[in-house]
């Protein structure tokens, strides 16, 4: 223990780190050079087969990168913990040497004769002290040894034993972890392997808590987090990315390219983690994760950046089309009711952000558009038929988290004065409204877009903190959500309608005063009294038509095919060209 060379453990860790970096470079070369070049120059079955094989090779490199990174951190963490015990041992040995005590190989401490006998005055004989277990755990006997060296020798023996025993426990714990870090045989990395890797990562994360995790500045501001990351050595950054991609990838204030790299790795770990489960929630989220993974390999333009991913609650996913750190114009869209991490979100809500990004780039190439699922939106099995979920609590919690995310965008954006737009759809507009009411409003936001809104929690556009002229509203004529009665109106209905909720109240007709400006969450944003700027949108399909009940009018605002005017208006605002948006009269 005294002669343990911790530097050799760190040297081995460096070797695994170099292997991890080489695998990462190989993956990067495949993803950014080979596949992009192949897609751009070749077509046909042979090209498709080559792309499929390159994707498999990239996935293999990703596995090597992750496992080697885990090995590096496990060894570095082992050295870190062992060195602490070695210092404790050396301090005890130093104290023993200063007192002329002798420490034996078994940890016992021999001390010399000292003091005087009460009867004959001769020096009291020396002796040997043996560790008694952890100091302080055993009650004192009340007896005092006559030799003045005895107590000090006992204390040193206890310290020696504690250091050696703790080191033994550390050694055994890491031995178990390292034995499990073994590569699978074969040339493919199936999902079951990622399930094992997720378990490996969890073990190393737990072991490296004192070495790495406890230093992650979760309670710091976005600016402080950015400075923390900038101040790390390259080696330490690589360790965080390999072992804690879930922490770094979801930390506001970390640069977008770093978050994207971390979340792409964490995406594979999440897929592996959920693959081993058979419950409905896991299967639903797994479908969403797989669709996001598929799109990340589609070479979309503007390019995708995965700024957040997680399986907590109803799932988390934050995707940007375009780099939000380099773009002058950045919009962040907050989805609403019934949104969760599932296949529908990965196909529908991501497309809304992509359509916005493509539209904005037409007016200013330096634009990025984000879809932000960073909160648990209300979920209703019966569509809009439940009063229980139509409260403010989730919007308030979501608004707080959304502001943290936006403060991160402000901190990492490289432009002197970027143009930021917050977009809220459906219940997401209530979440955006809640975010504006927190101290300072939404960080950095210049414009606010509200579409399909049931109200935002305030009665005037000026209360949103960006000025009336910077609040824009889209409300389709047949969008039932934009015409929900107020809570007071719904409350006067019969008991059955109250239980059914605001949609039933609307359909009933006699409970909803169509001339009233009050909606479920306050004043109608499209009304004259609210004071926002209303842009034209298509009326959309009626609630009850030839094909039955439809709320299609609530979901077409971003779609350039179903509602080109609305989608273009949103793109213009997101690109900082709101002066070119045509307006229509409020309700």
Q: Residue 496: pLDDT band by 50, 70, 90 thresholds?
A: very low
* Span of 176-190, 248-262, 431-445 with lowest mean pLDDT: 176-190
Contacts of 294 (CB under 8 A, 6+ apart): none
* Comparison of pLDDT for 218 and 299, the residue scoring more: 218
Q: Residue 513: pLDDT band by 50, 70, 90 thresholds?
A: very low
pLDDT of residue 278: 82
* Spatial distance between the Cα atoms of 226 and 404, rounded to a whole number of angstroms: 13
Measured between alpha carbons, how far is residue 255 from residues 220, 373, 460 in Å?
15, 19, 35
One DSSP character per residue, 256-316 reads HHHHHHHHHHHHHHHHHHHHT--SHHHHHHHHHHHHHHHHHTS--SSPEEEEEEE-STT-E
pLDDT of residue 511: 39
HEC-encoded secondary structure of 211-252:
CCHHHCCCCCCHHHHHHHHHHCCHHHHHHHHHHCHHHHHCCC
Q: Is 317 left (phi over 0), alpha (psi -120 to 50) or beta?
A: beta
**pLDDT tens track for 121-139:** 678 888 999 987 654 444 4
Parallel, antiparallel, or unpaired: how do β-strands 548-549 and 544-545 relate? antiparallel
* Span of 47-51, 147-151, 374-378, 501-505 with lowest mean pLDDT: 501-505
Q: Residue 489: pLDDT band by 50, 70, 90 thresholds?
A: low
Q: What percent of the chain has pLDDT over 90?
A: 61
Neighbours of 5 (CB within 10 A): 10
* Comparison of pLDDT for 543 and 236, the residue scoring more: 236
pLDDT at 313 over 90: yes
* Spatial distance between the Cα atoms of 317 and 303, rounded to a whole number of angstroms: 16
Burial environment of residue 404 by CB neighbours within 10 A (0 to 12, 13 to 18, 19 or more): middle
DSSP category for residue 99: T
- Phi (first) and psi of residue 309, to 5 degrees: -160, 140
Per-residue pLDDT, averaged over 155-159, amounts to 93
* Nearest Cα residue to 377 out of 352, 340, 344: 340
Per-residue pLDDT, averaged over 347-373, amounts to 97
* Spatial distance between the Cα atoms of 260 and 24, rounded to a whole number of angstroms: 14
Burial environment of residue 155 by CB neighbours within 10 A (0 to 12, 13 to 18, 19 or more): middle
* Nearest Cα residue to 298 out of 344, 354, 366, 257: 354
Say if CB 332 and CB 404 are below 8 A apart: no
Both tokens of residue 400? Answer: 């707080």
* Comparison of pLDDT for 515 and 323, the residue scoring more: 323
pLDDT of residue 495: 42
Q: How far apart are the first and last CA of the chain?
A: 80
pLDDT of residue 21: 92
Contacts of 282 (CB under 8 A, 6+ apart): 274, 311
One DSSP character per residue, 418-437 reads -EEEEEEETHHHHHHHHHHT
Contacts of 236 (CB under 8 A, 6+ apart): none
Neighbours of 238 (CB within 10 A): 19
pLDDT at 486 over 70: no
Q: What percent of the chain has pLDDT over 70?
A: 88
* Spatial distance between the Cα atoms of 162 and 168, rounded to a whole number of angstroms: 10
pLDDT of residue 342: 96
pLDDT of residue 135: 47
* Spatial distance between the Cα atoms of 470 and 568, rounded to a whole number of angstroms: 17
* Nearest Cα residue to 241 out of 57, 6, 11, 17: 17
* Nearest Cα residue to 426 out of 395, 452, 393: 452
* Spatial distance between the Cα atoms of 165 and 133, rounded to a whole number of angstroms: 9
Say if CB 425 and CB 398 are below 8 A apart: no
* Spatial distance between the Cα atoms of 465 and 66, rounded to a whole number of angstroms: 45
pLDDT of residue 549: 61
Q: Residue 187: pLDDT band by 50, 70, 90 thresholds?
A: low
Q: Residue 41: pLDDT band by 50, 70, 90 thresholds?
A: confident
* Comparison of pLDDT for 316 and 187, the residue scoring more: 316
Q: Residue 536: pLDDT band by 50, 70, 90 thresholds?
A: very high
| Averaged confidence pLDDT in the chain | 87
Per-residue pLDDT, averaged over 30-37, amounts to 81
One DSSP character per residue, 173-221 reads HHHHHHHH--PPSSS---HHHHHHHHHHHHHHHHHTTTTTGGGS-TTS-
Say if CB 254 and CB 281 are below 8 A apart: no
pLDDT at 387 over 50: no
pLDDT at 315 over 90: yes
pLDDT at 180 over 90: no
pLDDT of residue 490: 53
- What would you measure as the largest C-alpha separation in the chain, in angstroms? 116
**Strand (E) positions, 385-470?**
419-425, 445-451
> Which of 118-127, 237-246, 449-458 is modeled with the greatest confidence?
449-458
Question: What does the radius of gyration of the chain's CA atoms come to, in whole angstroms?
Answer: 31
Say if CB 469 and CB 461 are below 8 A apart: no
Per-residue pLDDT, averaged over 296-314, amounts to 93
* Nearest Cα residue to 419 out of 353, 367, 372: 367
Burial environment of residue 408 by CB neighbours within 10 A (0 to 12, 13 to 18, 19 or more): buried
pLDDT at 569 over 50: yes
pTM: 0.84
pLDDT at 67 over 80: yes
Per-residue pLDDT, averaged over 399-404, amounts to 98
Per-residue pLDDT, averaged over 399-425, amounts to 97
* Nearest Cα residue to 346 out of 316, 324, 368: 316
CA angle 377, 382, 385 (to 5 degrees): 85
Per-residue pLDDT, averaged over 533-553, amounts to 79
β-strand partners of 301: none
pLDDT of residue 141: 43
């Amino acid at each position: 223990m005294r002669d343990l060379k911790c530097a050799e453990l760190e040297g081995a860790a460096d070797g695994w780190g170099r292997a991890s970096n080489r695998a990462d470079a190989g993956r990067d070369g495949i993803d950014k050079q080979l596949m992009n070049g192949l897609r751009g120059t070749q077509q046909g079955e042979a090209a498709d087969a080559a792309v499929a094989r390159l994707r498999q090779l990239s996935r293999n490199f990703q596995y090597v990168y992750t496992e080697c990174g885990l090995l590096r951190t496990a060894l570095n963490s082992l050295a870190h913990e062992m060195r602490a015990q070695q210092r404790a041992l050396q301090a005890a040995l130093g104290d023993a040497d200063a007192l002329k005590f002798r420490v034996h190989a078994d940890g016992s401490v021999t001390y010399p004769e000292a003091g005087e006998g009460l009867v004959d005055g001769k020096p009291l004989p020396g002796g040997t002290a043996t560790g008694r277990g952890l100091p302080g755990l055993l009650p004192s006997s009340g007896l005092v040894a006559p030799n003045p060296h005895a107590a000090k020798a006992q204390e040193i023996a206890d310290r020696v034993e504690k250091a050696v025993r703790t080191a033994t426990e550390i050694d055994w714990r890491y031995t178990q972890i390292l034995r499990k870090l073994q590569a699978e045989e074969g040339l493919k990395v199936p999902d079951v392997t990622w399930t094992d890797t997720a378990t490996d990562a969890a073990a190393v994360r737990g072991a490296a808590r004192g070495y790495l995790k406890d230093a992650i500045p979760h309670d710091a501001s976005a600016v402080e987090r950015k400075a923390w990351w900038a101040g790390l050595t390259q080696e330490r950054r690589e360790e965080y990315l390999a072992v804690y991609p879930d922490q770094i990838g979801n930390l506001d204030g970390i640069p977008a390219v770093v978050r994207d790299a971390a979340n792409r790795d964490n995406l594979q770990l999440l897929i592996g983690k959920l693959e081993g489960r058979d419950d409905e929630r896991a299967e639903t989220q797994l479908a969403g994760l797989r669709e996001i993974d598929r799109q990340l390999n589609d070479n979309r333009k503007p390019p995708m950046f995965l700024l957040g991913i997680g399986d907590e609650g109803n799932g988390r996913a934050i995707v940007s089309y375009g780099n939000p750190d380099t773009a002058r114009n950045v919009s962040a869209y907050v989805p609403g009711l019934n949104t969760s991490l599932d296949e529908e979100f990965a196909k529908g809500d991501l497309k809304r952000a992509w359509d916005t990004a493509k539209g904005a780039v037409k007016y200013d190439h330096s634009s990025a558009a984000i879809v932000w699922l960073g909160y648990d939106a209300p979920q209703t099995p019966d569509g809009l038929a439940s009063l229980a979920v139509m409260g403010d609590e989730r919007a308030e919690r979501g608004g707080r988290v959304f502001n943290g995310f936006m403060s991160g965008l402000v901190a990492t954006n490289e432009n002197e004065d970027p143009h930021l737009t917050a977009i809220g759809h459906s219940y997401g507009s209530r979440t955006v409204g809640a975010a504006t009411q927190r101290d300072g409003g939404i960080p950095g936001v210049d414009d606010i877009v509200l579409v399909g809104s049931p109200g935002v929690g305030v009665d005037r556009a000026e209360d949103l903190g960006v000025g009336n002229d910077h609040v824009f509203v889209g409300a389709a004529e047949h969008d039932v959500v934009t015409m929900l009665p107020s809570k007071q109106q719904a409350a006067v209905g019969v008991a059955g309608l109250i239980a059914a909720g605001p949609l039933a109240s609307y359909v009933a007709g006699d409970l909803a005063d169509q001339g009233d400006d009050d909606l479920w969450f306050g004043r109608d944003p499209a009304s004259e009294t609210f004071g926002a700027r209303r842009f034209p949108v298509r009326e959309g399909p009626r609630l009850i038509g030839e094909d039955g009940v439809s709320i299609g009018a609530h979901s077409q605002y971003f779609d350039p095919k179903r509602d080109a005017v609305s989608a273009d208006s949103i793109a213009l605002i997101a690109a900082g060209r709101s002066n070119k948006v045509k307006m229509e009269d409020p309700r």
